[in-house]
Structure 1
Amino acid sequence: MRYLLTGVFFGFILVKSEVISWFRIQEMFRFDDIHMYGIIGSAVLVAGVCIQFIKRWKMRDIDGNLITIAPKDSSQYNRYILGGIIFGMGWALTGACPGPLYTLTGTGLWIFAIPLTSAIAGAWMYGLLRERLPH
């Protein structure tokens, strides 16, 4: 139940901050407005601070295990760049990144059921092919 309430709260925040607005996303990709860059930048800043707290205070998860964050493999940067380009193209074409797809569908914009279904199908396909793909 707490996960459902957390999801509903997160969806509320996404709606009120206009992160799910197709127009806001298009403004971002056209460099017309700083709104989305401010939200993304503040999220990156908060995540960076939280990661530093986790590392410095040697924090543990709910089961008592030490939280470790593995460094990125620098030989995989081309893979990260290609994945980022594909992600960005999908984001620009649909007007929604994967996180808000549930929120957009939940607000009654049923057209977003198509990219949501496609995202779920893509994740399912990756699960099927994962062992055959280079990692």
Structure 2
Amino acid sequence: MNGNRHPLFMPLILVGGLIFGFGLAFSHMARPEVVLDFLQFDDFGLLFVMFGAAIVSGIAFAVMPRIRDGAPLTGDAYRRRLKAFDRNVLIGGAIFGVGWGLSGICPGAAYASLGIGNITILWALVGMFAGAYLQGVWRSKRTAAETAPAGAD
């Protein structure tokens, strides 16, 4: 990552978040009952919102590297970051899906849901932070155990 970011980097991140949150709220995707209706195959509106986002992102990712050598605000080179489809991705995705189904909302929409007055979603947000923290503790202990000398007593 480039340490010489453009001065507009952070304000544009804020603007992007505002647009994202407004779009989620406008499309009613920040309402857990709408998401749960989608997960129960009663309302497919979320599918259209996701397709719209995928189309815009896909066009941007296809076009931008052809017009510029680097990202406009960071100068970082455009490159693909490949993540292997491994056991961790499969298990983590399944756990994420269970959490999404139980809470009725994904992380981005949970924050937007606060903006439309859904204060009870704070329980889900606390759970997300606690789960991420516990996973980090678990991973660091696992890494420390794997790198410990074999004969250390």
Query: Normalising by the residue count of structure 1, what TM-score does the alignment of the two structures yield?
Result: 0.79
Structure with greater contact order relative to length (CA < 8 Å, sep ≥ 6): 2
Q: Which has the larger radius of gyration?
A: 2
- Structure with more of its chain in helix, by fraction: 1
Question: How many residue pairs end up in the alignment?
Answer: 132
**Bigger mean CA offset, 89-98 vs 34-43:** 34-43
Which amino acid in 2 is paired with 1:104? S
**Residue equivalent to 2:19:** 9
**Residue equivalent to 1:105:** 114
CA 53–115 in structure 1, closer or farther in 2 if over 3 Å, else same: same
* Alignment map for 1:1-135 (pairs within 5 Å): 2=11, 3-57=13-67, 59-61=69-71, 62-74=73-85, 76=86, 78-133=87-142
Alignment RMSD (CA, Å): 2.4
Query: Normalising by the residue count of structure 2, what TM-score does the alignment of the two structures yield?
Result: 0.71
| Structure 1: gaps spanning 5 or more residues | none
How far has the Cα of 1:28 moved from its partner? 0.9
Identity value in percent: 29
